[in-house]
Amino acid sequence: MDQRKPEYFKPALMAGAVAGILSGLPLIGNANCLCCLWIVGGAAVAVRLLAKETPSALTSGDGAIVGALTGIVAAVVNSLVSIPLRSFNLGLAQKFMDWASEMGGEMPAGLDGLFQSAAGPISPGWFLLGLFLTSALYAVFGALGGIVGISLFVKKPGRAVPPPPPPAIPPATPPGPSDAA
Amino acid sequence: MSADEVRRIVRTVWLVTAAGTAVWLALIVLAPWLAGRGSTGAARLIYAVFSPVCHQIPGRCFLFHGQPLAVCGRCLGIYAGFAAGLVLYRFVRGFGRPALPSARAFLLVTLPMAVDGLAGVLGLWKSPIGVRAATGFVWGTILPFFFIGGVSDALAKGKERRAARNLSNGPGKT
């Protein structure tokens, strides 16, 4: 059995970067509201990429590792993409909450305060705390997506086919004198 | 790796996951409870923690103490289903060598939530919160069977690789 470690990082980087960008974009990023769809989907895609590059059979553990890495990469990319789009996203979220409030929904107490505090400049400490929390969350959801991806995209190894038996007929030409020496 | 070692790893992963799920569910309920008591600062922090994973539209959330939960009805169903799946896992699979559910089983339990969600997005119908929670619950129950199996396998593989490395860098090789 091939015990070599699969190359997790490249597929995680590729799929994580795409998932992170999509998560950071206004409106499109809202798909994450359905159980981190971009992250879970990105992790499943990373498994598919890994399966293409790995000759040995992948296991659910490989899916968990590449999925968790994809989630962490996506969290970092998402945080970076969100910085320039922050004011736009906050405005959009405020409009959305106003709409939800008009539709008769009960808003959580203090949500206005949350928007006001978020509208100011973000400190490096809060940015790092947010990045850490998002990374942890996305790593868990990514691991889940990677494991499900193994179940969906990777074929289970079948029974090894035994090699054909050697030919029973001896070679037609007998060994020459040079071979006997 | 021996069956006992595998059993120990699976049991540890199960326990840590169960503890994490309990904390996660408690936080979902804690946010509106704190908000209802006027502790808006702490409540805001918890609502913010859940904001990357849920839209938190108040009209689609169950209320507690007059305040919406930290996640919508469907997400609550998924997490509650995950907790129920963890309990089921203990009795269905035990702590032996884990195996993943089939892709067919996964697609089957995804179908009700996918149909309900897609119909909602397309405007074909608007399902009540109870239906959203129920379809999420069904989907959530299968997830621990993937999660426990995969994470246990990753840990077991890591342990095997470390053991192999230690063997190759044995006491004779400095």
Q: Is residue A101 within 8 Å of A40, Cβ to Cβ? A: no
- Inform me whether the pLDDT recorded for A167 exceeds 80: no
Mean pLDDT of A112-125: 63
Q: Is the pLDDT of residue A113 over 60?
A: no
A102 or A72, higher pLDDT = A72
- Which band of pLDDT confidence, cut at 50, 70 and 90, is reported for residue B16? very high
B78 in any annotated domain: yes
ipTM for the whole complex: 0.84
Taking only the tens place, the pLDDT of each residue in B35-71 is 999 888 899 889 988 888 888 888 889 999 889 999 9
Confidence bin at B167 (pLDDT 50/70/90): confident
Inspect the interface and report whether the beta carbons of A143 and B155 lie closer than 8 Å.
no
| Alpha-carbon distances of A123 from A87, B50, B52, B56, B136, rounded to whole Å | 15, 20, 19, 25, 37
Tokens 């969290």 correspond to A75
Alpha-carbon distance of A137 to A102, in angstroms, equals 31
Q: In this structure, is residue B171 part of a structural domain?
A: no
Residues of B in contact with A62 (CB under 8 A): 154, 157
Question: Quick one: what percent of chain A has pLDDT higher than 90?
Answer: 36
- The verdict on a CB contact (< 8 Å) between A148 and B155 is no
Chain B: give the shortest CA distance to residue A34, in Å: 7
**Is A61 within 8 Å of B38 when comparing Cβ atoms?**
no
Residue reference for tokens 């108040």: B58
Residue with more model confidence, B169 or A70: A70
pLDDT range class, residue A45, cuts 50, 70, 90: very high
- Stretch A47-56: mean pLDDT, rounded? 90
User: What pLDDT sits at residue A124?
Assistant: 82
SS3 of B100, please? coil
Domain tally for chain B? Answer: 1
3-class secondary-structure state, position A5: coil
The answer to whether position B77 is within a domain reads: yes
CA A124 – CA B122 distance, rounded (Å): 41
Q: Span A24-30, mean pLDDT?
A: 82
- Chain A residues within 8 A of B75 when measuring between CB atoms: 35
Say which of B31, B43, B54 has its CB closest to residue A33: B54
Mutation test of the interface with chain A: which of B6, B45, B46, B53, choosing the one with the most A Cβ atoms within 10 A? Answer: B53
Q: Is the pLDDT of residue B166 over 60?
A: yes
* Chain A contact set for B164 (CB, 8 A): 3
The shortest C-alpha distance from B137 to chain A (Å) reads: 13
- B79 located within any domain: yes
**Distance between CA atoms of A117 and A73, rounded to whole angstroms?**
27
For residue A84, pLDDT over 70 is answered with yes
| Inside any domain, residue B142 | yes
Find all residues with CB under 8 Å of B23, minimum gap 6, and list them: none
Distance from CA of B97 to the nearest CA of A (A): 12
Rounded Cα–Cα distance for residues B25 and B83 (Å):
9
Residues written for chain A: 181
Say what angle helices B3-36 and B73-92 make with each other, to 10 degrees. 150
Average pLDDT, chain B: 90
Number of H helices and number of E strands within chain B?
5, 2
Write the CA distances from A11 to A6, A16, A51, A66, A69, integer angstroms: 10, 8, 10, 8, 9
If we measure between CA atoms, which residue out of B140, B145, B120 comes closest to residue B10?
B145
On whether residue B172 sits in a domain, the answer given is: no
Cα(B110)–Cα(A147) distance, integer angstroms:
15
Q: Is residue B163 part of a domain?
A: no
- What pLDDT sits at residue A29? 80
- pLDDT above 80 (res A136): yes
Residue B46's domain spans which residues?
3-158
Least confident of A67-71, A161-165, B41-45: A161-165
Contacts of A27 in chain B (CB under 8 A): none
pLDDT of residue A57: 86
Interface of chain A toward chain B, CB-CB under 8 angstroms: 3, 5, 30, 32-36, 59-65, 100-101, 103-111, 113-114, 133-134, 137-138, 141, 143-144, 146-148, 150-152
The alpha-carbon gap from A9 to the nearest alpha carbon of chain B, in Å, equals 15
Residue B32, domain member (yes or no) = yes
Nearest residue of B to residue A97, measured between CA atoms: B57
Q: Which of B54, B103, B150 sits opposite A143 (nearest CB)?
A: B150
Which pLDDT score is estimated for A97? 65
The pLDDT confidence band at residue A160, using thresholds 50, 70 and 90, is very low
Joined tokens for residue B8: 């120990």
**pLDDT class of A127 with cuts at 50, 70, 90:** confident
**Neighbouring residues of B149: CB distance < 8 A, sequence distance ≥ 6:** A60, A147, B98, B99, B100
Res A179: pLDDT: 47
Query: pLDDT at position A85, please?
Result: 76
User: What was the pLDDT predicted at B174?
Assistant: 46
Distance CA B100, CA B90 (A): 14
Angle between helical axes of A111-119 and A60-102 (0-180°, round to 10): 110
Band of the pLDDT at A159, cuts 50, 70, 90?
Answer: very low
Exposed, middle or buried: residue A103 (CB in 10 Å: 0-12, 13-18, 19+)?
exposed
State pLDDT tens for residues B115-148.
998 888 888 888 899 999 999 999 999 999 999 9
pLDDT at B132: 93
